[in-house]
Structure 1
C-alpha cells in the first residue's frame, strides 16, 4: 500500500496515494508569509493548497519514487538550514529526521538534511518507498519495512550506532520529553507547532533547545519573554538553551546576517 499523510500549508491534513491527492482537510490559518514570499500564495484555501501540493509532487517527486532528496543551501533561515550548517561544520554528527517514504531516518549529510526537512515539514504517517529508502541507505532508516515514524526510537538507534552529537526534530512535547530522558545531551528542535496549547508551549521552552514559532501565538508570547535568543521576524525561531543560541547564531553568521524587516507580515490568524 502506498499512503502518505502530511500536514502542510497551514497544517492542512493531506493524504497522497500513488502520487495523487486523495483527500484534503481545511487549513488552520488563512495566510502564511513564507508561502506568500516564495510561492506567491496570498491566501491558503483549497485551490491554492492543492496547486502547491501538486507542484511539489511534480517538481521534486514528493511522496513518490522520484523524490529528489538533496538540496543545496539557498542561504535561507529555518530549522533544516540550521541542522545542515551544524552537520557541515561537524558540530553534530547525526540528525534524526522524518522523510516521507522512509519514516524516521538518520542523516549525516547537509544536503540531505536540507532536502528532506526544507521541502516538507509535517509528515504524520507514511509507507515505505523502496527508491527513497535505497537512496538514504537501509541502514539509516529506523524501520525500512514499515517506514515507522518514532523520533525517540530514532535517537536510540543513533546512540547505539555510536553517534556522539545528535540533533533531532520533534513535532510534539511528548517526544521532546522522551528524548531528553533517553539522553539529555541530544539537541531537540521543536517544529510544526501551529495550534499547540499554552501549557505545551511553556513546557517546550523547558525541554527543547530550538523552537520554531510557526503560526503559534503561545510560542511567540512565551518566546519573546523567556527565550535566550530570537531570530527572524515573520516566523521567529527561538533558542531556549545556550546550545540553541549558539546554533542559531552560527547559521546567521553563515548567511551573512539577517536583514531587519519593517512591519513584517505575520501568519494569520495566530492560533
Structure 2
C-alpha cells in the first residue's frame, strides 16, 4: 500500500504527504487564521507558509512517519484534544474515538494519548498504515480500528468502543449526519458525546447540528450565524467552540477547571465574537 496522507489544514489547504515528504500543496481557501497568527506569527496564509508549517510538524513531531511523537503538552486552552483530555481525566468520558495519522480511527481511554494524537494534527482526510505507529499506539493501550488500511470510520469506532465495554464515549466527527448515527448506536446506560470539527465551508443549520454536543466554528459562516444562537456555552472568541447540550457544556466546564490562566465567565447572547476572525468566512 502506498504511503500517502491527505490533510485539509491551515486555511483549508489540501496537502498531500508521501514517505514523510510534502508532495502537494493546493491554494489555501483562507488568507488569515487568528490561531496561527497568535501561535506561529503567520500574518498571511499562502501555499508556501502552509508547506513550511507542515514540514516543520513532520520534522519536529514526526507526523506521518514512524517517528510520530505521541506525547504532547497542551497546545491551546480549548482545543478539541484538550477538551477531551480533561473529560477523560475527570471521568466525564470513559474513552475517545479520534483519528491519527498512520493509524486511522483509534479508541483510547488515555487522556495523555488523546492529547498526543490531536495536539499537532488537524483536518486529516486520509491516511495509510504506519506499522511502527500502530504498534506504539497499541502498546499504550489504544485500539486501532483497521490496522491493515488505517481507515477513518468514526461511527464504526464508536461501535467498537461500546463493544470494548466503555460506557461514555466521545468522538470527533466532520459530518453532522454521522453524529446522529453515533448517537443511535448507544443503548441502555451507554452515551455518545459528539464533537463536530473541521466545519469551514460546511452548510450547517441549528437543525442539522442538533445531534452534536460540541461544535467548533473554524472559519464557518453558518456556525457563527445559525448554529451558535442555540448554543448553551461558548469557549473562545475568535475561533469559538460551542456547547449545544448540557453534556457539551459539562465538557467545556471540565476543561475550564484545568486552564490555569485567568478567564471571565458571564451571561451573554451568543455568538459573542471579539477580535480577529478567520478571513474569509466560508
TM-score category (smaller protein): over 0.9
Residue 103 of structure 1 deviates from its aligned partner by 0.2
- Alignment correspondent of 1:39: 40
| Contact 1:97-1:106 at 8 Å conserved across structures | yes
Q: In structure 2, do the counterparts of structure 1 residues 164 and 52 end up closer, same or farther at CA, with 3 Å as the change threshold? A: same
Q: Check whether the contact 1:57–1:63 (CA below 8 A) recurs between aligned residues.
A: yes
Q: Residue 57 of structure 1: CA displacement?
A: 0.6
- Distance in 2, Cα, partners of 1:159 & 1:133: 21
Instruction: Give, in whole Å, the separation in 1 of the partners of 2:153 and 2:67.
Output: 24
Unaligned runs of 5+ in 1: none
Secondary structure, aligned partner of 1:206: coil
2-structure distance, mates of 1:74, 1:32:
16
Matches within 5 A, 1:154-173: 154-173=157-176
For the residues of structure 1 that align with 2:263 and 2:63, how far apart are their CA atoms? 30
C-alpha deviation, 1:224, in angstroms: 3.5
Report the counterpart of residue 122 of structure 1 in structure 2. 123
> Stretches of 4+ moved more than 4 A in 1?
259-263
The aligned residue for residue 188 of structure 1 is: 194
Aligned match of 1:100: 101
Residue among 135, 144, 157 paired with 1:141: 144
Separation (CA, whole Å) in 2 of partners of 1:65 and 1:36: 29
| Structure 1 residue 178, shift from structure 2 partner | 1.4
TM-score, normalisation: structure 2: 0.91
* 2:110 aligned residue: 109
CA deviation after TM superposition for structure 1 residue 204, in Å: 4.2
The separation in 1 between residues aligned to 2:234 and 2:209, in whole angstroms, is: 13
In 1: Cα distance, 2:75 partner to 2:240 partner: 18
More helix, by proportion: 1
Aligned to 2:263: 258
Q: Closer, same or farther in 2 for the Cα pair 1:201/1:24, shift >3 Å?
A: farther
Contact in 1 for aligned 2:238/2:274 (Cα 8 Å): no
In the TM superposition, what are the counterparts of 1:1-271 in structure 2 within 5 Å?
A: 1-74=2-75, 76-137=77-138, 140-183=143-186, 185-197=191-203, 200-256=204-260, 257-258=262-263, 263-271=274-282
Deviations along 1:201-257, one digit per CA (max 9) or x if unpaired, are 433431100000000011011243211111110101101100001110121122145
Q: Mean Cα displacement is larger for which, 23-32 or 157-166? A: 23-32
Matched residues in 2 for 1:55 and 1:247: separation?
31
d(CA) in 2 for partners of 1:166, 1:263: 32
* In structure 2, distance between residues paired with 1:26 and 1:175: 28
CA distance in structure 2 between the partners assigned to 1:263 and 1:117 by the alignment:
26
For 1:91 and 1:78, the matched residues in 2 are separated by 17
- Answer with 75-84 or 261-270: which moved more: 261-270
Distance in 1 (CA, whole Å) between partners of 2:77 and 2:256 is 9
Contact kept, 8 Å, 2:89 with 2:111, in 1: the verdict is yes
Give the whole-Å Cα distance in 2 for the aligned partners of 1:2 and 1:88: 34
